Amino acid sequence: MNKNINIKSLIIDKPLKLDCGQTINNFPLAYETYGSLNEKKDNAILVFHALTGDQFVSGINPITKKDGWWSYAVGPGKAIDTDKYFVICANVIGGCLGSFGPSNTNSETNKIYGTTFPVITINDMVNAQHNLLEFLKIEKLFAVMGGSMGGMQVLQFVSNFPSKAKIAIPIACTSSHSAQNIAFNELGRQSIMADANWLDGSYANQNKNPDKGLSVARMAAHITYLSKNGLQEKFGRKLQERDDLKFSFDADFQIESYLRYQGSVFVDRFDANSYLYITRAMDYFDLTKEYNGNLSKAFEKTKTKFLLISFTSDWLYPTSENKEIVIALNAIGADVAFVEIESDKGHDSFLLDVPEFLNTLKNYINNSYLKN
């Protein structure tokens, strides 16, 4: 991370008991806001980011100099209109863009935490971010929303703070990680830990970087964000800038070159240990288990209105897993709407220019706000 970039952060001075049993305090939580909080303070939307996201939802990310990760959805006149709404997004704890994470320095040892950082959960991430609402003096949010791991945080937030949000929009997510998803995350973690530069997680103290392992982890994960049809349509078996096979292990196919590029740019902006910690938090997420096998109980105290959104080609968090949440909400008579969006862009659909998705989001948000 470029230390010269001014990252907005809040030092949380009250102790936070983590699920692993450790307690942290006086730790930073980096965040960004968009738009203005109105006088009634009833137009605030808390957005939760996914695994490799950050607080820079819209506009230009000052670190990468690229568009914010949800620029298609958030901004003036967009689905989440920053001319109307006050949007807040924090970098999760365990992250690497200003919030407390494994790349921070331990004041007691004067060394970078690395894998001595405590293991964190989705619950810990959400509880840390709740401090932002107290800091901004927001009694009740208009909305909480997010896709993928962001959707998990939405579910956890409503469960933990049943009266803190008027509407909740979990997108392309699940109430607990499947064995398949745990397997994919473990593949990524093992790629990182097999890199000779990982050094048991203390690479930063020795000015090393397990960039090869992190790049492979990103490549493997990126495949899961796409769909078979989308990949076939975009790449097929097209060769990379040549007419015939090279009979080597260079990137003969365009899809190989694309994945290698995705891996190489990722290592410039993300910390390998953060990848380990955040994927672990996702794997540990299990709201059903938290409520003794009854997912409905997670939401029985809330009056929050829900809109769940899934995508037809998402095989990472398929529609069936999103529907399990809808069924649990229906069982307690919650106000819940569900939409499955037709898209061939796979899990990444929620990050891309998918008009039906963006229109659904915009209409639901605006209609809900009119009823405020």
Annotated catalytic residue: which of 310, 347, 348, 349?
A: 347
Residue ranges of alpha helices (H) inside 300-345 are: 319-331
Can you tell me the distance from the alpha carbon of 234 to that of 240, in angstroms, rounded to the nearest whole number? 13
Tally of CB atoms within 10 A around 246: 11
Report strand pairing: 111-112 vs 105-106.
antiparallel
Which of 211, 314, 344, 348 is catalytic? The answer is 314
Tell me how far the alpha carbon of residue 271 is from its chain's centroid.
15
Distance between CA 170 and CA 339 in Å, rounded?
11
Indicate if 314 belongs to the active site: yes
Please provide the DSSP assignment of 67-116 as one string. Answer: B-TTTTTEETTSSEETTT-EEEEEPPTT-SSSSS-TTSEETTTTEE-GGG
Residue with tokens 């529907």: 323
Please indicate whether residue 200 is annotated as part of the active site: no
- Contact present, 29 and 12 (Cβ < 8 Å): yes
Catalytic residue chosen out of the listed positions 148, 176, 227, 313: 148
Q: Is 76 exposed, middle or buried (0-12, 13-18, 19+ CB in 10 A)?
A: exposed
Catalytic (active site) residue 347:
yes
Active site residues: 148, 314, 347
